[in-house]
Amino acid sequence: MKTIRRNVIAALVIAFGFAAAPAFGGMTDGKPTGALVGAAGHHAAGKVVIAKGTHGAFSLFILDARIDRAPDGRVHLAKDGDYRKGVELGRLTEFSGALEFPIPAGVNAQDYDSVVIWCHKFHVKIGEAFFQKGAK
């Protein structure tokens, strides 16, 4: 059931979620996006997108995610690829498919230029993505 829900979310984000463009004025195609890549010898791949989420507020989506399992992986909006200069969006409990992390109220996603997946238990970066220039 979770797999079906994730696939439906991904389809909705792709089809309708990008209509949220005006909130991120000046972006080339209406959405902040980036490519997730592995770090520190870990595998991470997928596309990160900020768009309207399933509850109407903005969320960070990792589409087509393929991420190494981490015992205490956390997803952060970050500055300069440093999770300590950011805000934690949630714990990584799924490692593939379409993942959604709601952005907390009061957090301005435009203040961040990257996404970091950080394993707090082992103090290691699992993956990161930088939003494309002009996508903020």
Q: Are strands 73-79 and 33-38 parallel, antiparallel or unpaired?
A: unpaired
Asked if the model's pLDDT at residue 106 lies above 50, the reply is yes
Lowest mean pLDDT segment, chosen from 21-25, 29-33, 83-87, 129-133 = 21-25
DSSP strands (E only) in the chain: 33-38, 44-52, 58-67, 73-79, 82-91, 96-102, 114-119, 124-130
Q: What is the largest CA-CA distance in the chain?
A: 39
The enclosing H or E element of 3 equals helix 2-15
**CATH number of the structural domain spanning residue 65:** 2.60.40
Is the residue at 28 inside a domain? yes
Asked if the model's pLDDT at residue 26 lies above 60, the reply is no
Asked if the model's pLDDT at residue 9 lies above 80, the reply is no
Domain count, the chain: 1
Q: Which of 83, 86, 81, 78 is nearest to 120 (CA)?
A: 83
Q: Which residue range(s) make up the domain with 26?
A: 2-130
Is the residue at 27 inside a domain? yes
